[in-house]
Structure 1
Amino acid sequence: MPTTNQTHSARLAGITGRRVLGAAAIGPATLGFDQGSIASPQQAPESGPCIDAGDLLVLPGIVDIHGDAFERAVMPRPGVSFPYAGALLDVDRQLLSHGITTEFHGVTLSWEGGLRGEAYALRMFDALAHLQPVLGVSHKVHLRFEAYHLAGVETALSWMADGRVGLLAINDHLPMMARKMANDSKLAQYAERAECDPETFRTRLRTASRNAQDVPAGVSSLIAAARVAGLPVASHDDPDLATRQHYHRQGCHIAEFPLTIEVAKLARQIGDETVFGAPNVVRGTSHTGAPNATEMVAAGLCTVLASDYYYPAPIQAAFKLAQLGVVSLADAWHLVSRNPARAAGLRDRGVLAPGLRADAILVDDSVPGLPRVCGTIVNGELKHATRVLPMIDIADARYAAEGDAGSLAA
């Protein structure tokens, strides 16, 4: 089948299909588009090109609030980096092909330097601004701030004030890294990513460690600034109840990858979002020994699934959860679309409903366990297709839908 990536396509008038996921269930529907949004019946266009999805599933586009797989495009091997422009263009195509229509790139600002230092973050900001006219997906930045990087607090504050950041997450990987300094292989890996020699990396870690007493104040200033800017805030890898309560009190209402079941339970009890990795569902286990994400979904302790380090994971995880009977496909899809949009404060997407963005994907699920994205619509435009999709006039689609409704009524 031919593959097309259309970044300058004309806007669609709508989409029709027999298996469209609406606000609550999957069924026949015709959705009209108006200026990139889903139109109310009264505002739907009277004519224009409409995709006939037939028996393909039509689902809201995936909203991924934590994805750092772009790092492998920028630095495919340790110490081997490529220009951001070409790398992000490749990432954009990957996202479209896996049904992700909104991506929050996990850009790290850390004392480590190198790939997770300020220079690389600035390259990301510059590339996103430069590529905006040709990118198919809605790209945003999830700023992962390393708590001990006090020298970067003012930089992070300025980025938030300038509107460059869409979500702030507080990370603290220093204690874990410190425990691994005796592991020469792990140290070499950290140093290569930081683009320095092992001894320099040790020095950076020791220097950052001296900031311990000032870390709480620095982090609090970032969270306060994010709240003023209207940004959602997450804490990463909460290890215990006290940590979650501490961040919740400061207005941080996303528990990203909580490390224990007890932390996830507390987060839900106090109304916080809980994010787990979609790769955890796909693989059946966490690669770090964290709680099993499938079990968390079954227990109602997971509200959001994120791609983390593997872009194909959200769509695969949602279908696997439905196939296992853990939840319905509609409820599984909320974990990768409606709920992450809510967590990120994006009230304009995540559900195929009037007034919201026309971000949708067409999925062939005819092979169990292997969902395939056949088309991706972003802001009312077809941006990606792996097959020729039938087009009809939206007036004909509405006429057919009214006829079917009349037949059913009769």
Structure 2
Amino acid sequence: MNDLALTNARIVLDDCILHGTLIARNGIIRLVEEGSTQAPGAIDCEGDYVVPGLVELHTDNLEKHLMPRAGVLWPSIPAVLTHDAQVVAAGITTVFDALSVGDLEEDSVRVETLKSTYDAILQGQETGALRADHWIHLRCELAYPRLIEALEPLMHHPSVRLISLMDHTPGQRQFRDLAQYRKYYSKSHISWTEDEFADVLKRRTEQQAAYSSKHESIVLSMARGRNIILASHDDTDVQQVGHARRLGVTISEFPTTQEAADAAHAHGLTTVMGAPNVVRGGSHSGNVAALDLARTDRLDMLSSDYVPASLLHGAFMLHTLAGWSMPRAMATVSRNPARALGFEDRGTLKAGLRADVVRMRDVGGLPIVRNVWVNGQRSF
């Protein structure tokens, strides 16, 4: 019998905070009620918050474990296990590992490690080696010449549940500011003379013209009839958002402007922004601040992106800085992404749902994860 009883907790529900008790059995929440319990083995939470397990829909945190130092490739399975441990310690119980299918830069670690990483995630699932519930998010770089041949072998596993349509061609979307584009790649020790940079821009623009539209149509055809959610990426203006909606996109990832976020809201898209953007107080690429979207009611979900610990921290800051209630703030990292991804069995603390549960403590305005249970099993 797998029993879990948490008492003397501030339990964050959909619409309120309940000072009470949560009881789960065999991985399912059986009871959430006000008051304490004397049940044998009950854990006294000492007034800590108890929140739903976090749902992460776009993290490329795994990449830093695949290449822990420039030029050093780490074996895929140990990298996946380390990533898994890190996300669970951050309170993430459901994670969509974002694997980039293609890259516009030559000799990319993303291209080199794609298949081995994909296989390692599936192996971790099949052997029970992973603590979190892992799913796969395929990030399709539309201007990558060999996108379709790289994507086709990955499409058939049921763990593939989310596809995002990306185009990182410089001069538009995330990199509409060319100075930011050069700055971004300088962090990877890529530098160009003025002539070299002009040549890069020319080649990238030619690639986009040759492949992006064609690949977009093929990817949509491949996704059709499967249980796959579509997301757009780095929308900048009304036209791009409208185009995404016509394609059947339901999630707007990281809109770069207030205009795009307004358009996504008007079209009924669910908008996700980076939690690091919230924690840092702005975008590292010079785009719109997530807190600005929160204050104009244009933010539905957060993603930890490249820092797992930012997810809970970012949600907490929506509560402390944007003035959101704790239930509303926590929904951006639990209920809202769960629903956007088609999950009805998680994302909220309610009888009959999965016992994905996080105990966390507010220490001077910083949320500290104390314990994590995934499907009722203690994982941290």
TM class by shorter chain equals: 0.7 to 0.9
> Are 1:87 and 2:79 an aligned pair?
yes
Deviation at 1:335, TM superposition (A): 0.7
> Are 1:165 and 2:164 an aligned pair?
no
Distance in 2, Cα, partners of 1:11 & 1:114: 45
Distance in 1, Cα, partners of 2:204 & 2:310: 37
Deviation at 1:267, TM superposition (A): 0.6
Gaps of 5+ in 1: 1-9, 42-46, 193-198, 385-410
Give the percent of matched residue pairs that are identical in Structure 1 and Structure 2.
34
Q: Bigger radius of gyration, 1 or 2?
A: 1
**Pairing partner for 1:129 from 113, 122, 137:** 122
> Are 1:33 and 2:24 an aligned pair?
yes
Deviation at 1:103, TM superposition (A): 1.3
Change (3 A) 1:190 1:226: farther
Q: Is the Cα contact below 8 Å between 1:12 and 1:50 reproduced in 2?
A: no
Pairing of 1:150-299 with structure 2 (within 5 A): 150-176=145-171, 186=185, 189=188, 206=203, 209-210=206-207, 212-299=209-296
Change (3 A) 1:183 1:251: closer
Hey, what does 1:60 align to over in structure 2? 52
Classify the secondary structure of the residue corresponding to 2:15: coil
> Are 1:71 and 2:63 an aligned pair?
yes
Number of equivalences = 361
| Aligned residue type for 1:139 | H
Classify the secondary structure of the residue corresponding to 2:170: helix
Give TM-score scaled by structure 1 length. Answer: 0.80
Distance in 2, Cα, partners of 1:79 & 1:358: 41
Hey, what does 2:364 align to over in structure 1? 368
Q: Is the Cα contact below 8 Å between 2:169 and 2:204 reproduced in 1?
A: no
Q: Is the Cα contact below 8 Å between 1:148 and 1:209 reproduced in 2?
A: no
Structure 1 consecutive aligned stretches of length 4 or more whose deviation exceeds 6 Å? 202-205
| Aligned residue type for 1:126 | D
Change (3 A) 1:226 1:182: closer
Distance in 2, Cα, partners of 1:93 & 1:145: 26
| Greater RCO, 1 or 2 (C-alpha within 8 Å, sep 6+) | 1
Q: Is the Cα contact below 8 Å between 2:170 and 2:181 reproduced in 1?
A: no
Classify the secondary structure of the residue corresponding to 1:280: helix
Hey, what does 2:2 align to over in structure 1? 11
Q: Is the Cα contact below 8 Å between 1:294 and 1:321 reproduced in 2?
A: yes
Deviation at 1:240, TM superposition (A): 1.4
Q: Is the Cα contact below 8 Å between 2:90 and 2:309 reproduced in 1?
A: yes
Distance in 1, Cα, partners of 2:152 & 2:5: 41
Give TM-score scaled by structure 2 length. Answer: 0.86
| Aligned residue type for 1:27 | L
Distance in 2, Cα, partners of 1:203 & 1:296: 33
| Aligned residue type for 1:140 | W
Distance in 1, Cα, partners of 2:358 & 2:109: 32
Q: CA RMSD in A?
A: 2.9
Hey, what does 2:133 align to over in structure 1? 138
> Are 1:116 and 2:71 an aligned pair?
no
| Aligned residue type for 1:16 | T
Hey, what does 2:35 align to over in structure 1? none
| Aligned residue type for 1:350 | G
Distance in 2, Cα, partners of 1:258 & 1:180: 19
Distance in 1, Cα, partners of 2:347 & 2:85: 20
Show CA shifts across 1:299-320 (max 9, x none): 1101011101111111111212
Hey, what does 2:36 align to over in structure 1? none
Distance in 2, Cα, partners of 1:356 & 1:224: 34
Hey, what does 1:379 align to over in structure 2? 375
